[in-house]
Structure 1
Amino acid sequence: MSNTPEPRWLDEEEDFTWRAVWSLMTWLPVKLEAQLREDHGLSLYEYYALSQISEAPNRAIRLSELAGITNMTLSHLSRVISRMMKAGWVERVVDPNDGRYTLGQLTDAGWDKVVEMAPGHVEAVRHAIFDQLTDEQIHALGEASARVAEAVSPHGKVTGRPGS
């Protein structure tokens, strides 16, 4: 006789929810990346890295912190930053507060690129998500997504919560 607990199988509603979440995780990034690649020749990861640097104080962030926020390995992020440096959008600079760290610093050209790309990206996000939902559904999706993201992310938090 085994002491292995019986699996907690998903009920019908949970199975539907899981399949919907899986489809969302699969297809939403594909849709958003297609818009960025078509309009600007950049990947979703590249856009996300640029946008996170643009939102950081003084438009600079430790690359190790950026890797965590964007869920990129340091080697992947290094390749992304190198491509953005080649385009003139980002510089690597020594962290003035702790010389052991390197910052990704947005250049003026990088800021201009973010300003150029943001409206189209926001419209793609709005069309894919918010135009499909009522205000109540938007709130519920945000709260539910934050709970799951906080449970699975290594830093246990979601940025940008209204009122925080």
Structure 2
Amino acid sequence: MLQRAQVRITRHLEAELLVAHDLPLASYDVLSQLAEAPERRLRMNDLAGRVLLSRSGLTRLIDRLQRDGLVSREACESDARGLFAVLTDAGAARLAEATPTYLRGVRAHFLDVLGPDEIGHVRELVTRLAGATDAS
């Protein structure tokens, strides 16, 4: 049941972002993670962990975002093999345009379905579940 709810919500969010901004949910997630990072940049390995993608899956996604001018790649000075994904100004602008759509979707498909007390309970349960899975 948890998986069905998660899939239903993410499908709605994805559809809304695609229609309004031609931006898949995974791309929104990458742009959002980069926007929150210091200097709008993250090492590719760290970014892959944050967006729950394999390294190869993230590489393909970054290729598309780079082609669209939303992200750039920079070499890591301290590690010749390392690469940073960097949010461009165009990427930040696209994220700013898409964020209201994303937040409306989260509200409509998740928060408005629950009562105020239920939201607190869900937050507590999800935090506990995340901590339990991180420990194992």
TM superposition score normalised by structure 1? 0.77
Instruction: Map 1:75-114 onto structure 2 (within 5 A).
Output: 75-114=56-95
Deviation, 1:97, is 4.4
Aligned amino acid, residue 6 of structure 2: M
Q: Which runs of 5 or more residues in structure 2 are unaligned?
A: none
Aligned amino acid, residue 91 of structure 2: G
Aligned amino acid, residue 52 of structure 1: Q
Structure with greater helix share of residues: 2
Distance 1:93 1:22, change over 3 A: same
Could you say which residue in structure 1 is the equivalent of 2:19? 38
Instruction: Map 1:16-95 onto structure 2 (within 5 A).
Output: 19=1, 21-95=2-76
Q: Which runs of 5 or more residues in structure 1 are unaligned?
A: 1-18, 158-164
Does the alignment pair 1:145 with 2:123? Answer: no
Q: Which runs of 4 or more aligned residues in structure 1 lie more than 2 Å from their structure 2 counterparts after TM superposition? A: 95-100, 149-152
Could you say which residue in structure 2 is the equivalent of 1:8? none
C-alpha separation between the residues in 2 aligned to 1:99 and 1:28? 40
Deviation, 1:132, is 1.8
Structure with greater strand share of residues: 2
Residue 120 of structure 1, aligned match among 92, 101, 108: 101
Please identify the structure whose Cα radius of gyration is greater: 1
Q: How many residues align?
A: 135
Q: RMSD in angstroms over aligned alpha carbons? A: 1.5
Aligned amino acid, residue 122 of structure 1: L
Aligned amino acid, residue 103 of structure 2: V
Deviation, 1:76, is 0.8
TM superposition score normalised by structure 2? 0.92
Deviations 1:25-60 (A, max 9, x none): 221111111111111122111110111011101100
Fraction of identical pairs, as percent? 33
Aligned amino acid, residue 78 of structure 1: T
